[in-house]
Amino acid sequence: MTNPNPLDQPLENDISAQLKERKAGFGKTTVVLGVAALAIVAFVGGVFVQKSFGSTQTPTRQNAAGRQFPGGNGTPPSGAQQRPNGGFGRGTVGTVDHVDGTTVYVKTQNGQVVKVSTSDSTKVEITSEGKLTDLKAGQQVVVQGQAGQDGTVNGQTITQRPTTG
């Protein structure tokens, strides 16, 4: 008798039927790993975008004393866009030069005088709410309002700053 070849013998437990029963699609583990990989890629992408386009400086808020520039001394940063006659952004910072009727003249740190027009809706704040007549020459103020074409600021709020030094 010859020894039969085991490969020629039929299998008792044919796995082809089991393979056909296997469901198509992704398993739970595959889905969880895919979501984790996407989250990591999104985070790393965000880091690179922030490095490329993000600001390196933290924005500063205007505090109660009316200082609107970093350092708190009323000096605009070197990159601040200057308006005509020394105003910056939506207003100006400086010292009251004089008040003429409803117009306040503010001398900025660079020596220019900015004309500030006011109206009945302009708030003047001096520790508490005040009036235009409360503003005196030599006082530090922060003016908020829109600058016109000629450089005149339409004053919406004038805040007296506390005296320093």
How high is the mean pLDDT of the chain? 74
Is residue 127 pLDDT above 70, yes or no? no
Distance between CA 99 and CA 106 in Å, rounded?
9
Q: Cβ–Cβ contacts within 10 Å for residue 87, how many?
A: 25
What residues have CB less than 8 Å from 138, skipping those under 6 apart? Answer: 95, 96
Name the least confident of 7-11, 29-33, 119-123, 157-161: 7-11
Q: How confident is the model at residue 65 (pLDDT cuts 50, 70, 90)?
A: very low
Range ranked top by mean pLDDT from 56-70, 87-101, 143-157: 143-157
Distance between CA 149 and CA 159 in Å, rounded?
23
What is the value of pTM for the model shown? Answer: 0.34
The arithmetic mean of pLDDT across residues 75-86, rounded, is 47
pLDDT of residue 32: 93
Q: Is residue 158 within 8 Å of 124, Cβ to Cβ? A: yes
The arithmetic mean of pLDDT across residues 127-151, rounded, is 84
Distance between CA 101 and CA 59 in Å, rounded?
37
| Digit-coded pLDDT (tens) for 67-79 | 444 444 444 444 4
Q: Cβ–Cβ contacts within 10 Å for residue 158, how many?
A: 27
Which tops the pLDDT comparison, 69 or 159? 159
User: By percentage, how much of the chain surpasses pLDDT 90?
Assistant: 15
pLDDT of residue 79: 44
pLDDT of residue 136: 86
Q: What is the dihedral of CA 96, 100, 103, 104, to 10 degrees?
A: 0
pLDDT of residue 21: 66
